[in-house]
Structure 1
């Protein structure tokens, strides 16, 4: 072989070698910078799955910007000071490349994953403790993937137990408060017996799950998945699989499910879809007698169901925009929704399927954390914003914004109680994340700003069943749950915890208390 032939062969071969080297470098870069949150195989973890089918609403240029600058109102940091433009471009190309083996989680996979540790009826029917079972709190500690059970009267810890990785969307209770269901980012549903302090059953509904919902009668559990694009229905008793719903529009375009909610007065599940402009309603069979008539919901179960959709069959409701985030009025007739990329919200009548109002809510309203109360004889709702230092207060009769409160930064969680004169909102994002505002519900003014632990994030209030005391998290590995007097705002107690996030009171969640998210 002469010299020129050798050079020609090398020139031909070098691009392939370079491509392989670049791919190896990108794999290493992804493993180093991204895998901890998004999974080694890009299937999701704390962060969402990074696959072409899950990135349909995010263009590659925008994905590069997110990698460089981070993502507002999320745990996604910016890597602009760590990675150069070529490295960011290689990561963008990588996450939009289809995987060599397409991920799947089939009906058979779900069935094979089910574990029943204690069959229905095999455990005692009396609590192991003396505390009021309807005034318990579940506190999710994300620092080391545990949950604590607190007595809502004494605020003593009854039990602490290990959970699945990265719980999301809040635990959901059966109406009697005995069982609580957890959903994890990696698809696991766990049924836990609060009376006996035992995990009784588990099943994996998907690969990357957003949240779960439990029917008002406690008989059914629905899971919302990002991956695969599906809703999955289970019998709540032992988490037996009932049905898998592939989520797609009528043309076959698939969609992630942003969240699923139980709508007790309608007797149905409502699903928010990430990638198609639809809302889905799936009714469950009705009991002979109403099961929800307490708390702020005086409407009997399913009195609001005005359509004839058979049990567990999907009713598609077309909407003018993507609706990633939801809030419902008290009767669950109207859904107030917003797109994370939009400039406002809209109100959809679930009975007629028609949009009835637009809401001028710039700043990414976090409607899932909205609350309502009575103000001067009318019902108002209030919501923080994820990208704007404001709380919007809306008249729910004509859907007008009656007041916008300026805050010390964008907020994430807002809470109150029917028996409390105050609404609490955190300042979750930005330099003032250690602050919490207290709003007088009668004057619609901020009357107090607390700094529970300077320099550490303060977030997520939850009241006890009586609305007299409340818990607030110091969202830090060396954190705590703080007990406050709901009237005097005096700190009463601190309970050390590992990055406590959400706190969920049995009474408030099962009675749909007006100041608690649902």
Structure 2
């Protein structure tokens, strides 16, 4: 059936318009940034220069160095729910939001005097920051960086006066709950952000000087290490009404301790099946506990005092880094044989490491070598050395979808 002339004209004009638009889009495409996802991106802290290296874990490349993050001498990173942005927690109290796709800072505030880390809520709406100075936790909107709630870590000292405690071990738990420890107070608090009115629950007298903490991958157990006494404390978040229980209370009693060169980081512990691997304080050992009853079932001798004890995603290996003066090497433990199977020497002053999402590679920061070294975790072959300015923490975006990471 022939088309009426006006309609023919309309179609012709429309075709010309679409053609012109196509040419315009082609011109825009020539200058537009490359379309990509964020699943293979990561951030390496460059502590000496207050910058971060934005990296591609598939290509094993540094994409760019981004400056302007302040004091990163002890910094950590959390990723937003969509893995588009990284929040960097700086030692100067800075909270900085990095856009991973543009490589630019999307927002920055100084929210305290000395922050030590934080967490992002399960629904992605809130970012919590734990502070050494002045103490306490502040919670911000992840989109706007607007302050939502300020929770001072106020506690009563033995002499009856009031003090502000340093906050450590801030983690996210299921149900939009934040959990954290108060160092001087010897307390653990939970902050429930699931309702319009946040609810704070303190657990008193948990032990002497909780210095760091972790949450198990399923979000059930929050475990804090104690600097002032032997043992650890555990809060079962499925049954918080049971309060805090002590685990491994007899560990270390009657034994001579070595000088503690650097406190181990419990958030870098490892789980394999029903076993948990964690660093001994002041000893050249990795401890092994049975998570069914949290009893100590083994001690694995290692070359020095362990700092980070991390499990490969398939749980067949545990990789260990160490405090000075043994911090130029990394050791690998077989989780079935419970023994060291490999020792590597990536460079000077090894600090942090991170597995790729499925564990085929591991990235290791060699601070004083100004390099990040990449290994194949099956063959232990060195795959790449990437330039970085005094690198420390390494964080990949798959953490956005893991509890407590």
Change (3 A) 1:234 1:169: same
Residue 134 of structure 1 aligns to a residue in which SS? coil
Change (3 A) 1:464 1:129: farther
| Gap runs ≥5 in structure 1 | 1-126, 287-309
Q: Find 1:313's aligned residue among 180, 199, 212.
A: 199
Q: Find 1:221's aligned residue among 95, 108, 127.
A: 127
Q: CA deviation at 1:383?
A: 0.9
Q: CA deviation at 1:386?
A: 4.2
Q: CA deviation at 1:372?
A: 1.0
Question: What corresponds to 2:212 in structure 1?
Answer: 325
Residue 510 of structure 1 aligns to a residue in which SS? helix
Structure with the larger strand share: 2
- Distance across 2 between alignment mates of 1:148 and 1:211: 19
Contact 2:362/2:375 (8 A) holds in 1: yes
Q: Find 2:58's aligned residue among 153, 159, 163.
A: 153
Question: What corresponds to 1:424 in structure 2?
Answer: 319
- Distance across 1 between alignment mates of 2:287 and 2:165: 28
Q: CA deviation at 1:259?
A: 2.0
Q: 2:235 matched to 1:348?
A: yes
Q: Find 1:481's aligned residue among 359, 367, 372.
A: 372
Change (3 A) 1:496 1:196: closer
Question: What corresponds to 2:353 in structure 1?
Answer: 461
Q: 2:189 matched to 1:280?
A: yes
Contact 1:414/1:460 (8 A) holds in 2: no
Change (3 A) 1:318 1:429: same
Point out the more displaced range, 215-224 or 146-155.
Answer: 215-224
Residue 482 of structure 1 aligns to a residue in which SS? strand
Residue 174 of structure 2 aligns to a residue in which SS? helix
Q: What CA deviation, in whole Å up to 9, does each residue of 1:21-77 have, x standing for no partner?
A: xxxxxxxxxxxxxxxxxxxxxxxxxxxxxxxxxxxxxxxxxxxxxxxxxxxxxxxxx
Q: CA deviation at 1:205?
A: 1.1
- Distance across 2 between alignment mates of 1:337 and 1:264: 15
Question: What corresponds to 1:384 in structure 2?
Answer: 279
Change (3 A) 1:131 1:446: farther
| Gap runs ≥5 in structure 2 | 1-31, 258-262
Question: What corresponds to 2:20 in structure 1?
Answer: none
Change (3 A) 1:371 1:482: same
Matches for 1:490-501 after TM superposition, within 5 Å = 490-501=381-392
Contact 1:338/1:365 (8 A) holds in 2: no
Contact 2:275/2:289 (8 A) holds in 1: yes
- Distance across 1 between alignment mates of 2:47 and 2:251: 31
Q: What CA deviation, in whole Å up to 9, does each residue of 1:357-391 have, x standing for no partner?
A: 421444666423212121xxxx2111123421110
Question: What corresponds to 2:303 in structure 1?
Answer: 408
Q: CA deviation at 1:169?
A: 4.3
Q: Find 1:172's aligned residue among 78, 91, 102.
A: 78
Q: CA deviation at 1:260?
A: 4.7
Q: CA RMSD in A?
A: 2.2
- Distance across 2 between alignment mates of 1:268 and 1:367: 20
Q: What CA deviation, in whole Å up to 9, does each residue of 1:433-475 have, x standing for no partner?
A: 211110112221110111223xx22232211112111101112
Contact 2:264/2:306 (8 A) holds in 1: no
Q: Provide TM-score, normalisation by structure 2.
A: 0.82
